[in-house]
Amino acid sequence: MLYSSQVYVLLEFMIEEILIKEGVKTAFKVASTFYMKNKFKMGFSEGDIEKSLINHINHVKNWSSEIVFKDLKKAKRTQDIYIKLNTYVYPRRNRINDEEEIEEVGLMDIFETEDSHIAILGQPGAGKTTSMKFICQSIFFDEKFYSEKFKYPILIRLRDFNKPLKNKNHKIIVDYIYSLVSLQGIKDQGIQYDLGYEKKEEIVVDLLNSLKVLLIIEGFDELGYKKHRDLVLEELAALATKLETARMILTSRTADYYYSFEKFSEFEICPLNSKQIKDFATKWLGDSQSAEEFLRAVDDSPFSDATIRPITIAHLCAIFERVGKIPEKPKTVYKKIVNLLLEEWDEQRNIKRESSYAKFETDRKFEFLTNLAFFITGTSRRSIFSKNDLKFAYDRIHQDFDLSKREVDMVINELESHTGLFIKSGFELYEFAHKSLQEYLTAEYIVRLPTIPEGVQSIRQFPNEFAIAIAISSNSSFYFNEFIYKRISRINLPKSFYQTFINRLLLEKPEFNRDQSVGISALLLYSLALSGSSDNKQLHLFVMDNLVKEYEEFMIHVFKRNSINEILKKYKLEAKEESLNSTTVLRLVLKNEDANNNVIERYPLPKHLSCRESFIE
């Protein structure tokens, strides 16, 4: 529910004057009773509790009030931009096969039916933290948001505990809450004593239950020390069975959470559906017209599948809001998303994730992912692949990265946890998070090879990836020419390859130089697409020109810097045919000229070319 700024001021006043004061009285009463029962002397006052509670509530209120990251023009109010997410009722990795449908429930509806404590899991950038911010704001400012269940949110950000603990008996959750409410233990003749963990836990449980707290434990995956994780897990298991009116909600990246406790239920955030994507864009950009323009641009791009993740669509919206468009070249977006997930997102939030492998830092992980994407794509054309496919690919590359053959599961788990580019999606099932990024990573591998792969089998399975490789190459014209002249013109490829390849080139928008050989390559590509082979010297009786619209557009792109007339001067008409698509296709043959004149740059002119009559017109 959205409120005007004046109403927010009134509500903030009510929080401090009514909610906090009521909480202070309750907390002091619970503490006093506890200390009297145990015959301890209190080392704090009601005023101490009030001060601490006000500080924490203000901290949570301010932390949860806005969303901010580097690409944004300015911070966004959480209540203005949040869209309600859906969750799977159990993590996708638990599926027995990829046909298993998992029931979904709205994240904000979980509290209606679930009496247990909750673990919210999700991939990096799935919306876990933003959802916790929205919940906090709703508890503060929306009287309809489970007011009978929760009165106060208490926030524990586990990233704040990435430092050595004070002593071996120190805990994390209980000690934090105990200090938070200024319950500093026994004081006798000016000397302060520690209550001990069991007594601290007892009073903390009483307080949380009495105050109807929603205890948000945020970012289990952000704990860097294994010992700290073990402590938190131990406390969660103990508190889960002792908290009754208070509830806990834990967030974690899916790959970092493989645990099961009594009174704890796991949910995993779903990818955004089409309606949520539209709502997201409308809220972030502020009006439906801008959102429609943004969504049209994204839908026409090859990376539209990446918008199913909040982190990606949020950054694309932020760029669109600043410059009025998304980047023209898809390669810019691929690099942005991969860098965001590999490094930048954690960097912006000052989170350091240590690799378990000495030489497996960010740049090496990127190289590993490009290798993995190439070999997996070559093995399985499905977006979801088996553990056997994964092991086959891993066996081919692990030695190049100084990784043990036996550590395949641990390496893949770290990649899922640290990057989110790669996920486990079922029992012995894996997939890249976005098909477009799998294609881009494969293309990065291909373009870095010392030579372009050759042979029918090595080329026919990568039409999308070769189109991207041409676009991301340091010299798109040279790579395009080499690929057409020295690779696909020498082999027989199915027409489906050409259709996919040309369509993807249009989407990728490679930047071709002023180079007549590019024009020859483009016409040769069209000839191959019609005949399927450079050995086919004549047109069929019935020509099926499947790429009428697409090729017209591609030729405009190629010849915006080159002249087709200069090329056609070297050819003469040999035959003319009407295609089944009502286009006129010309069969051209090279004029008998001096051999030295039949070479453009380093490429000999093909003896035969096909050309639409419309190209000449």
Confidence (pTM): 0.88
Query: Could you tell me the two tokens for 178?
Result: 């105990």
- Mean pLDDT over residues 564-574, rounded? 80
- Mean pLDDT over residues 134-141, rounded? 92
Mode of pairing for the β-strands spanning 213-218 and 152-157: parallel
- Mean pLDDT over residues 289-300, rounded? 94
Percent of the chain surpassing pLDDT 70: 89
Please report which helix (H) or strand (E) contains residue 550, including its range: helix 548-558
Q: Which positions ≥6 away from 217 have C-beta within 8 Å? A: 156, 158, 173, 232, 236, 248, 249, 250, 251
The answer as to CATH 3.40.50 being correct for domain 362-439 is no
How far is 452 from 450, CA to CA, in rounded Å? 7
Higher pLDDT, 155 or 14: 155
Would you tell me the crossing angle of helices 463-472 and 495-508 to the nearest 10 degrees?
Answer: 30
Query: Could you tell me the two tokens for 369?
Result: 């992912």
- Structural domain boundaries of the chain? 5-269, 274-339, 362-439, 462-616
Among 312, 308, 316, smallest CA distance to 276 is for: 308
**What is the phi/psi pair of residue 294, to 5°?**
-60, -50
Query: Could you tell me the two tokens for 368?
Result: 């590993």
**pLDDT tens string 508-545:** 999 888 778 888 888 888 888 877 554 444 444 445 55
In which band, very low, low, confident or very high, does the pLDDT at 550 lie, cut at 50, 70 and 90? confident
Q: Are 605 and 569 in contact (CB under 8 A)?
A: no
- Mean pLDDT over residues 200-229, rounded? 91
In which band, very low, low, confident or very high, does the pLDDT at 10 lie, cut at 50, 70 and 90? very low
Query: Could you tell me the two tokens for 459?
Result: 């080329």
The DSSP call for residue 598 is: G
Under CATH, which number does the domain 5-269 receive? Answer: 3.40.50.300
- Mean pLDDT over residues 445-466, rounded? 93
Query: Could you tell me the two tokens for 250?
Result: 């834990």
The answer, yes or no, to whether residue 84 has pLDDT greater than 90, is yes
pLDDT of residue 229: 93
- Mean pLDDT over residues 53-78, rounded? 89
**pLDDT tens string 258-284:** 998 889 999 999 999 999 999 999 999
- Mean pLDDT over residues 415-430, rounded? 88
Helices (H), 267-309: 274-285, 288-299
pLDDT of residue 314: 93
pLDDT of residue 65: 93
**pLDDT tens string 471-494:** 999 999 999 999 999 999 888 888
How far is 201 from 195, CA to CA, in rounded Å? 10
pLDDT of residue 14: 55
pLDDT of residue 32: 80
pLDDT of residue 539: 45
The answer, yes or no, to whether residue 51 has pLDDT greater than 50, is yes
Residue 188's DSSP bridge partners are 191
352 CB neighbour count, 10 Å cutoff: 10
